[in-house]
Amino acid sequence: MLNLFNKIKPWNFFVFAALFFEIVFTVVTPPLQAPDEQNHFYRAYQVADGHFLPERTKNRLGGEIPVCFNEFINPYFYAATNLKYVLYGHETHAANNVVFTDSVTEFKDFPNTAYYSAVSYMPQALGMFIVKQFNCNVSTMYYAGRFAGFLFWLIIMYMVIRIIPVYKWLFTTLILLPMNLYVTNSLSADTVTNCLGFLFIAVVLKHVFSEKSITVKDLLLFLGLILLIVFAKVVYVGLIVLLFLIPANKFKGKMNKFNSIMSLGAFSLLVIFWWSGIIMQNYITYAEYDPAHNFYIGLNSCANYYAQKEYILSHGSYFFTVIYNSIFKHPEQFLMGYIGAFGQSDIAMRGVVYILSYAAILFLALTESNTFKFNLKQKAIIFSSAVAAFVLLLLSQHLLWDCVGEGIVDMVQGRYLIPIFPLLFVLFSNSKIKITYPAVVIVFLFVFVLNGYAARKIYYRFYVESFDEKTEFFCDFEQKDINDFFITTNPKIKIEGGKFQVTDTSHSGKHSGYILPPSEFHLEYGFQYHFKNLNYGDMVEIEAWEKGTGAYLVISGKGKNCNEFFIPKASFHPTAQNGWYKFYSIFTMTTKCDSSDVVFFVWNTSKNKLYIDDIKFTIKKYNKPYMN
């Protein structure tokens, strides 16, 4: 039996496990649920459409995207932005049947992904480009991009495991961690970045232990990989330090080695400055961004690249403080995220799972049998490369996303460390601990149990309800009481505004309600409903039909132990019927207002009369403090 296990090659096991979990994660993970995936979708389509640079107006950054994407994205957007929103079959069925057409487009804002070069999306864009030539659904285009990215990842990681001369089982395990699989099973630009990082590491380590001398062809390969990394995510250019691992005799001497590596580094720096100059022409701070389009665009309201850069340069040791704080103030954020924190990094596994995962990885690192060993000098170089990449990562994040002078990088997400952490784990290589065991058994159990558990967590998050109490009611505007309140399906609940009932148009039945545009003679809102005891974390789903455009759904109030708040949400129009548009909105109560008195109303922001019909409310309450 032991001989049978020993015959299983790590690259063959990788292909089997990767294909298996590609199917599993595709089933349990809805579209657009990786971090910022909606904006990655827009950018990948932009590249597939032949636009390799983003489009910028005076104060907006993004590009022209087909309007048909809206209806596909809608339910998945709510799932991504509301931790308790669960997807239902009829919603996803309708979204997945939206036919693709680029005859009508609109400008979409995605400034956080617009900076990415086309290199980061080439596999996904190729898949999308192929299927868009045919009469396909938007979902088909999305999944074509997602599968093309996975196929690219599968091929590159297979090559990595075949090429790398040491720690094949360790690298196989790290490549198959849930976070890596989750990111790969999306349109995230991190897929290409991770592939290039791993491939560069594997190629360098191959030459470290190879008998062959470095040729001009090899140097060009190094340069090509470095430049691709620069275009994909410049911070990982720190991996270039690994080239110092290659013995000098393979470069025909120390001076030739030094000159070769310095030349590669210098050329890379020139490309970095050139590309940064192009990209930074599109930089817009949150304060400068068009306020009508700054929702969900992925920018921090207090971040400013130029002000942050000036602050770092004028405050001596300040950035060393940033590095220290980012590592030690909340390390659980990136340590958990490296193994697996899903959704928008808000779906975590149990703490003990992360502890056991790192224990298993360290066990492999300490005990895996290798033909080649790293000496102390080589380990110092490997560590320096990891530190260089990590420090550049922190610098980039701090410049672009953190408040000026904040003193810490708030979002060191574990997925950013996927190309860096393997370098730290190989530092545990040693020749003293010798344990004979079939590595494939340990890796098989670890990979399948961990990813199975992760898939279960993801499935329960997106498809299984967890509310403790639910209230539903429906108002068709057909009946009202003597006090001019509309009667709903719940006898305890009524909606104000009965005097605005009309018979000249309706979505169903004979009646609807109307709201006039704002003027000095009347208010521009109506159909108020007063919630009682709407508490922190409660979720309200509102579905209605609108004739005309410009309605905002608003929750507002001032409750006990909280300040006044006002939460407007623009209506979204995925479906039209005879001039009526269905709109749907989700509110999650983010204000801590115990026993608050909160009001809902429809607000007309247009210059025209609006009609509203068939309002449906669902209010879900949760006892567990999940918002924390």
CA distances from 514 to 306, 495, 547, 604 (A): 49, 13, 9, 10
Q: How far apart are CA 63 and CA 126, in angstroms?
A: 18
More confident residue, 577 or 362: 362
62: Cβ–Cβ under 8 A, 6 or more apart, which residues?
A: 42, 54, 55, 107, 108, 109, 110, 111, 114
Choose from 129-133, 151-155, 244-248, 592-596 the range with maximum mean pLDDT: 151-155
In 121-242, which ranges are continuous DSSP H helix?
Answer: 122-131, 138-163, 168-175, 178-184, 190-209, 216-232
In 368-435, which ranges are continuous DSSP H helix?
Answer: 376-401, 421-425
pLDDT band at 462 (very low <50, low <70, confident <90, very high): very high
Adjacent-strand bridge partners of 540: 587, 619
pLDDT band at 625 (very low <50, low <70, confident <90, very high): confident
Q: How far apart are CA 9 and CA 408, in angstroms?
A: 43
Question: Which of 216, 288, 287 has the alpha carbon at shortest distance from 251?
Answer: 216
Asked which of 280-284, 288-292, 535-539, 564-568 is least confident by mean pLDDT, the reply is 564-568
**For 531-540, b where at least 16 C-beta lie within 10 A, e where not — what string?**
beebbbbbbb
Task: Find where tokens 């898949």 sit.
Answer: 127
Share of the chain above pLDDT 70, in %: 95
Asked whether the predicted pLDDT for residue 484 surpasses 70, the reply is yes
Mean pLDDT, the chain, as a whole number? 90
- Tokens standing for 497? 């505004």
Please state the rounded mean pLDDT for residues 603-615.
Answer: 87
Indicate yes or no: pTM above 0.75.
yes
Question: Number of C-alpha atoms within 13 angstroms, CB side, residue 497?
Answer: 29
Report the SS3 class of residue 549: coil
443: Cβ–Cβ under 8 A, 6 or more apart, which residues?
A: 10, 13, 169, 172, 173, 364
Asked whether the predicted pLDDT for residue 122 surpasses 90, the reply is yes
Task: Find where tokens 């942050």 sit.
Answer: 308
- What is the model's pLDDT at position 421? 97
- Tokens standing for 17? 């496990």
Question: Which of 315, 469, 344 has the alpha carbon at shortest distance from 407?
Answer: 315
- What is the model's pLDDT at position 314? 95
DSSP string computed for 50-107: T--S-EE-SS-EEEEEETTHHHHHHHHHHHHH-TT----HHHHHHHHTPBP--SSEEE
CATH no. of 469-621: 2.60.120.260
Name residue 305's amino acid: Y
- Tokens standing for 173? 């395990």
DSSP tag of 159: H
pLDDT band at 572 (very low <50, low <70, confident <90, very high): low
Q: Phi/psi of residue 515, each to 5°?
A: -135, 125
Question: Number of C-alpha atoms within 13 angstroms, CB side, residue 469?
Answer: 10
More confident residue, 176 or 97: 176
How does pLDDT run across 407-443, given as a tens digit for each residue? 999 888 999 999 999 999 999 987 777 777 788 889 9
Helix axes 439-463, 331-340, angle to 10 degrees: 100
Task: Find where tokens 């990979």 sit.
Answer: 447
How does pLDDT run across 349-373, given as a tens digit for each residue? 999 999 999 999 999 999 988 878 8
- What is the model's pLDDT at position 92? 81
Task: Find where tokens 């030459």 sit.
Answer: 207
- What is the model's pLDDT at position 430? 77
Domain ranges of the chain: 2-463, 469-621
Run of H or E residues at 3:
helix 2-6
CB 444 within 8 A of CB 365: no
Rg of the chain (C-alpha set): 28
Q: How far apart are CA 46 and CA 145, in angstroms?
A: 12
DSSP string computed for 215-270: -HHHHHHHHHHHHHHHHH-GGGGGGGGGGGGS-GGGGTSHHHHHHHHHHHHHHHHH
Please state the rounded mean pLDDT for residues 444-459.
Answer: 96
How does pLDDT run across 64-103, given as a tens digit for each residue? 999 999 889 988 988 888 888 888 776 788 788 899 999 9
Adjacent-strand bridge partners of 515: 610
Taking 3-state DSSP, the helix, strand and coil percentages for the chain, each rounded to the nearest 5, stand at: 50, 15, 35
Asked whether the predicted pLDDT for residue 247 surpasses 90, the reply is yes
